[in-house]
Amino acid sequence: MLKKNRFLAMLIISIIAACMAMPFMAFADNESKDGQEAAEVQTEEAVAEEEAVDLTDNDNAIEFLTSNEMFDAKKLSEDEQAEYVTAAETFIGNYSDNVGSEGFDENLDKALTAKRSQVNFYSSWWALLPAIIAIVLALITKEVYSSLFIGIFSGALLYSNFNCMGTIDHLFADGFIAAVADPYNIGIIIFLIILGSIVALMNKSGGSAAFGRWAEKHIKTRVGAQLATVALGVLIFIDDYFNCLTVGSVMRPVTDKFKISRSKLSYIIDATAAPVCIIAPVSSWAAAVAGFVDEDQISGMHLFIRAIPYNFYAILTIVMLIFIAVMKFDFGPMKKHERNAAHGDLFSEKGKQILAEAEEKGENKNGSVWDLVAPVIVLITACVFGLIYSGGFFTAGGDYFLDFIGAFSNADASVGLVIGSFIGFVFAVIYFLIRGTVKFKECMDAIPEGFKAMVPAILILAFAWTLKAMTDSLGAKVFIAEFVRLQASSIIVLLPAIVFLIGLGLSFSTGTSWGTFGILIPIVLAVFGGSISQEICIIAISACMAGAVCGDHCSPISDTTIMASAGAQSNHINHVSTQLPYALTVAGVSFVSYIIAGFIQNAWIVLPISIVLMIGTLFVIKAMTNKKEA
């Protein structure tokens, strides 16, 4: 064993040494040439700067591609190649805006040819490989960090055309560092840390334990505990991140008292986050969807509202939650986790040790229900304030001054949630100091404790964001989008069902539903000439949203899935593996419903049919499960 370890260590050292030697060898070869060419390069750059057209502007990029022949590296100088690639990247980056424009097919062909001169695997099925590797490995090995890293590393290899130094640069500079340094992502990390600190404060004050005792008196059954969790999840429809962490913090003491597994809690949290947000007109998701529509042609909010009755996945997910709670049955891996919970193991596998450690800390007997309720109410109110503040509600002379809906639609969730959670934390500290349940030093100790509690979620998020950066850099979205535009649109009545599956696949493999909206909604609108006069167009757009949410719900690299695990303090892979059969069951019924909707095209007929199909499917599964146990 020792020899094997030494061999592996030497192998790793050899690879690192070889990688480090390569740039120095290249530098030695080029050093003599650099001095001779420096003056010529400076002169050429000065002339180029005077004559250069800004090819990062989309209009200029279109004009450039239209006026130039197909990219041919043999006929172009290095500077001309660089110009062509810049124009190509700008055109591809504005894919959603350009789709349907005059000469789009020819210009896209030119742009992809130019891009593939640098990245051989760009916009091909290879672009999906990193996500597939990461997801399959995570489900097989039950180890998320190494699985995600291997997926990310494979993406960097493909992007660099298997060049060693190019792989390292793309892996770290364009990957991890760029993903974590993104302002939006940093905001989400800060929000997680502050919210973790608030939860730690509520636990120190005894508020969580007091709420658990109160719930034990007022909520009499496991069914009641599950329905209460569903109800709270539905009520907090403003934002999915906020939903996951708030519902988890509030309901954990309740579900623990009734021996509901953390896997089941994380499923309920996840199922009432994105699926509820996508059918709530006043939510960050509604604002995102509306933002992907050209307001000069259609009102984005009007389109969103018309699409709600056709969002079968979101609606049927709520139906399934209520049904399995009331009918008291589970299936798949969830059944095992619920059986373990009934015997005291809420986590399954290593959960007993975690629970024992939590119990050893003891609880503050001076806590009351209000020590949990008051901070949560202030937190919710402050986050709503933060969201509308970031959207310009209080900016005199702005477009959304004193316009609640407009400001909410324009809100930056990252900034708004940080502002709201900070206000909530300051209130919690002051409140607990006045109450005398927590000392000031303990309040400050809650900050690193909250940070430590959120470290697993932050790590997985960092890996997931980096994996998304890898698939984006390989053109996965363009590959899927072109498939929809060229293939799926040929059968109009089946378009909603096809778009649902494609949206599911794209969202599952990239871990982002918002990115899926941004690609697919403009394409669907382009298929129908930018008009929503046909009902089938509304159905197809709703199918896009439903598929994106379904993929987001199933994917282990989705932000919302990771947040749900963090909110329930559940093992992430346990959450994914137990949730998947439930989500796929709803997805199957939704797919059939979209096939029916393609022919009937009336929400008030198809929606009741889909609900009946969902309940009927669950009765069949229940009967099969009971028969297997008999």
In a domain, 123, yes or no: no
The tokens describing 192, both together, are: 């997680």
Average pLDDT value for residue range 63-82: 89
In a domain, 456, yes or no: no
- One-letter amino acid of 270: D
**SS3 labels along 36-98:** HHHHHHHHHHHHHHHHCCCCCCHHHHHHHHHHCCCCCHHHCCHHHHHHHHHHHHHHHHCHHHH
> Domain range spanning residue 67?
39-118
Q: What percent of the chain has pLDDT over 70?
A: 84
Residue 283 above 50 pLDDT? yes
Query: By the 8 A CB rule, do 314 and 560 touch?
Result: no
Average pLDDT value for residue range 350-373: 62
Strand, helix or coil for residue 588: helix
Is the sign of the CA dihedral 132, 133, 134, 136 positive or negative? positive
Number of domains the chain is built from: 1
Residue 40 above 70 pLDDT? no
In a domain, 501, yes or no: no
More confident residue, 290 or 225: 225
Residues 182, 317: Cα–Cα separation, whole Å: 32
In a domain, 112, yes or no: yes
- CA distances (Å), origin 488, targets 465, 484, 524: 29, 5, 10
Least confident of 337-341, 529-533, 614-618: 529-533
Model confidence band, residue 32 (pLDDT cutoffs 50, 70, 90): very low
Q: What percent of the chain has pLDDT over 90?
A: 28
Burial of residue 48, with CB atoms counted within 10 A of its CB: 0-12 exposed, 13-18 middle, 19 or more buried: exposed
Model confidence band, residue 369 (pLDDT cutoffs 50, 70, 90): confident
Query: By the 8 A CB rule, do 281 and 301 touch?
Result: yes
- Per residue in 237-277, pLDDT (tens digit) is 766 777 887 788 788 888 888 889 999 999 999 999 888 88
Residue 361 above 60 pLDDT? no
In a domain, 95, yes or no: yes
Average pLDDT value for residue range 430-444: 88
Residues 483, 499: Cα–Cα separation, whole Å: 10
pLDDT given for residue 140 in this prediction: 83
pLDDT given for residue 41 in this prediction: 45
Question: From the CA atom positions of the chain, what is the Rg in Å?
Answer: 26
For the chain, give me the number of helices (H) and strands (E)? 31, 0
pLDDT given for residue 591 in this prediction: 96
Average pLDDT, the chain: 82
- Per residue in 537-580, pLDDT (tens digit) is 899 999 999 999 999 888 888 888 988 998 888 888 899 999 99
Can you give the pTM of this predicted structure?
0.75
Model confidence band, residue 25 (pLDDT cutoffs 50, 70, 90): very low
Ordered alpha helix ranges (H), 511-602: 513-527, 535-554, 559-568, 572-600
First to last CA, the chain: 48
DSSP 176: I
In a domain, 444, yes or no: no
In a domain, 69, yes or no: yes
- One-letter amino acid of 112: L
- CA distances (Å), origin 145, targets 467, 468, 472, 530, 560: 12, 15, 20, 43, 17
- Per residue in 291-320, pLDDT (tens digit) is 666 655 566 667 888 889 999 999 999 999
pLDDT given for residue 273 in this prediction: 87
- Non-local (6+) Cβ contacts of 40 within 8 A are none
pLDDT given for residue 288 in this prediction: 67
DSSP 283: S
Average pLDDT value for residue range 18-40: 47
Average pLDDT value for residue range 613-618: 95
Residues 195, 239: Cα–Cα separation, whole Å: 14
Residues 556, 538: Cα–Cα separation, whole Å: 29
- Per residue in 129-153, pLDDT (tens digit) is 988 888 888 878 877 788 889 989 9
pLDDT given for residue 579 in this prediction: 94
- Per residue in 383-434, pLDDT (tens digit) is 889 888 988 888 888 888 888 877 876 778 788 888 988 999 999 999 999 9
pLDDT given for residue 16 in this prediction: 56
Model confidence band, residue 46 (pLDDT cutoffs 50, 70, 90): very low
Residue 284 above 90 pLDDT? no
More confident residue, 90 or 99: 90
pLDDT given for residue 547 in this prediction: 94
The tokens describing 574, both together, are: 């346990």
Average pLDDT value for residue range 450-474: 85
Model confidence band, residue 33 (pLDDT cutoffs 50, 70, 90): very low
pLDDT given for residue 414 in this prediction: 81
In a domain, 64, yes or no: yes
More confident residue, 249 or 594: 594
Residue 335 above 60 pLDDT? yes
pLDDT given for residue 584 in this prediction: 95
